[in-house]
């Protein structure tokens, strides 16, 4: 297989920027496949070429297989990188890409079907003897039958989309009284997000930690793991803060979980970057799922190991990357990532859309920012409200926590609310500092919106001045609050 000269990106936002940067370092041109709503974003400005694939609704653009492939062909690409989300775990898309002579940068369609389908993956894991959370993964999707299975498992039970990810199509069922409604809701959401209403059930572990292992299959099919990440800080089943490596694992547990991760990836004949997710409770671990794509949180692994997973993905797709057995990778220091969302932390996280008046990410040693929007860009209501990721590295976990808090306090975002104050409170909580948080950490300690601090007269004047300046430019800012200055948040 020859080297790519141009790669199409079937995604948006910060992951599109991440892929463009990796391509630039490899001397490869890019084609951004974007919706009408994503014109004049950072990725749009950075890509070598842009092709509009449809209007803002994802079903008519980012989830439209034919539009993405036609866009890649029109842009003169030889390969498509799907990033994460959208079509990244869609085997039909990967297959369709291959049929027109393009290369899908990711695992084969067969591997996606084998491991990306959560139900099939659990069947494979069962054959391999991997520990699984008790549940139901059958084909019978009748709601009454699923309720019967939930009763057998015992409440609380989690219902999940078989083709899901990112918390979509996932509901916690606490009693039989709410089972029917929540199962039907999960099926509708799964159909809308992933094109399949299929769901499965799992016993809900209420003291579990979420631990995942980065696996990578090279050009020859050899699979190794690049150690672990802890992602226990989750809100509505979606990760907010991730770190590498986990503060919860002993050396023996890390070794056993790493071996299990490689075993399931090898069974799936995996190539490229993937993630094997586990739940850990009372010293026992259970396979949760395999994500057959790049993860949002991949930078923390890159920071502690000194690797570039996106470049490795591209080289693997070209048939060039092979693991070097002489190169023993050992994690160094500690890395933390925070996801920055355009949302109001004082109103329970409701999305905050509008014009970004000013954005400043403070530079410094071992600080990394991945963002898809800059000052002057508009945050629209059409997509996930994550606007950036902040990643830090330091010699130890306590130092990394303190560095992250400093970085967040020094970050400046005008124009929309962000969750930065919320993140600072989480990072400062004693349970997070001790590393003892579980997946119920947010539910237990941050179920209510955080309290909005009173602004000083100086802060009010600064905010009012910024507001007047922006409005003088003829722009309108839309936020979830009517406060004249609260539309402009300064992260201090």
- Residues with active-site annotation: 293
Give the 3-state secondary structure of residue 59.
Answer: helix
* Residue in 110, 26, 37, 23 with CA at minimum distance from that of residue 75: 23
State whether the Cα torsion 389-390-396-399 is positive or negative: negative
DSSP assigned state of 168: T
Cα separation values, 423 from 61, 151, 166, 239, Å: 32, 37, 19, 12
**In this structure, how many other beta carbons lie within 10 angstroms of the beta carbon of residue 25?**
12
Angle ∠(421,16,371) on CA atoms, nearest 5: 25
| CA dist., res. 289 & res. 414, Å (int) | 38
From 84, 80, 73, select the one nearest 7 (Cα to Cα). Answer: 80
What single-letter DSSP state applies at residue 196? Answer: -
* 202, 208, 209, 213 alpha-carbon torsion, rounded to 10°: -40
Q: Is cis: bond before 399, omega within 30 of 0? A: no
- Per DSSP, the three-state class of 34 is strand
Selection from 310, 266, 292, 258 nearest residue 30 by Cα: 310
Backbone φ/ψ region at 240: left (φ over 0), alpha (ψ -120 to 50), beta: alpha
From residue 464, how far is each of 363, 469, 485 by CA, in Å?
Answer: 27, 9, 6
**Rounded to 5 degrees, what are φ and ψ at 453?**
-70, 150
């Amino acid at each position: 297989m020859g080297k790519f000269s141009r790669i199409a990106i079937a995604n948006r936002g910060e992951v599109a920027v991440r892929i463009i940067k990796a391509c630039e370092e490899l001397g490869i041109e890019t084609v951004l496949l974007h919706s009408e709503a994503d014109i004049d974003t950072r990725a749009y400005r950075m890509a070598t070429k842009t092709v509009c694939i449809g209007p803002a609704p994802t079903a008519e653009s980012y989830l439209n297989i034919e539009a993405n492939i036609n866009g890649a062909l029109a842009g003169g690409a030889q390969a498509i990188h799907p990033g994460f989300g959208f079509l990244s775990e869609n085997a039909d898309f990967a297959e369709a890409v291959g049929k027109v002579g393009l290369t899908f940068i990711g695992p084969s369609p067969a591997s996606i079907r084998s491991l990306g389908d959560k139900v099939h993956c659990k069947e494979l894991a069962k054959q391999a003897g991997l520990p699984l959370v008790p549940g139901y993964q059958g084909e019978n999707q009748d709601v009454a039958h699923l309720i019967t299975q939930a009763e057998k498992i015992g409440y609380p039970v989690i219902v999940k989309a078989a083709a899901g990810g990112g918390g979509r199509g996932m509901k916690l069922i606490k009693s039989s009284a709410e089972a029917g409604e929540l199962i039907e809701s999960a099926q509708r959401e799964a159909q809308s997000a992933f094109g399949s209403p299929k769901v499965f059930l799992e016993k809900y572990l209420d003291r579990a930690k979420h631990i995942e292992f980065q696996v990578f299959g090279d050009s020859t099919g050899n699979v190794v793991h690049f150690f672990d990440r802890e992602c226990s800080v989750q809100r509505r089943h979606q990760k907010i803060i991730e770190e590498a490596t986990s503060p919860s694992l002993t050396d023996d547990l890390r070794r056993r979980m790493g071996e299990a991760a490689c075993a399931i990836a090898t069974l799936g004949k995996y190539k490229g970057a993937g993630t094997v997710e586990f739940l850990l409770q009372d010293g026992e671990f259970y396979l949760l799922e395999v994500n057959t794509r790049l993860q949002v949180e991949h930078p923390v692994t890159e920071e502690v190991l000194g690797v570039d997973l996106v470049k490795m993905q591209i080289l693997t797709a070209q048939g060039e990357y092979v693991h070097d057995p002489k190169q023993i990778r050992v994690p160094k220091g500690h890395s933390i990532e925070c996801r920055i969302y355009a949302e109001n932390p004082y109103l329970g996280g409701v999305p905050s859309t509008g014009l970004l008046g000013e954005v400043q990410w403070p530079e410094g040693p071992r600080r990394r920012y991945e963002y898809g929007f800059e000052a002057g860009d508009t945050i629209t209501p059409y997509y996930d409200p994550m606007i950036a990721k902040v990643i830090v590295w330091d010699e130890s976990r306590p130092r990394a926590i303190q560095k992250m808090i400093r970085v967040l306090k020094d970050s400046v975002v005008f124009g929309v609310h962000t969750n930065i104050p919320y993140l600072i409170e989480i990072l400062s909580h004693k349970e997070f500092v001790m590393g003892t948080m579980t997946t119920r950490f947010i539910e237990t300690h941050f179920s209510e919106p955080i309290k909005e601090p009173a602004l000083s007269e100086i802060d009010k004047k600064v905010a009012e001045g910024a507001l007047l300046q922006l409005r003088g430019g003829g722009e309108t800012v839309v936020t979830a609050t009517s406060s004249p200055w609260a539309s402009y948040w300064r992260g201090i």
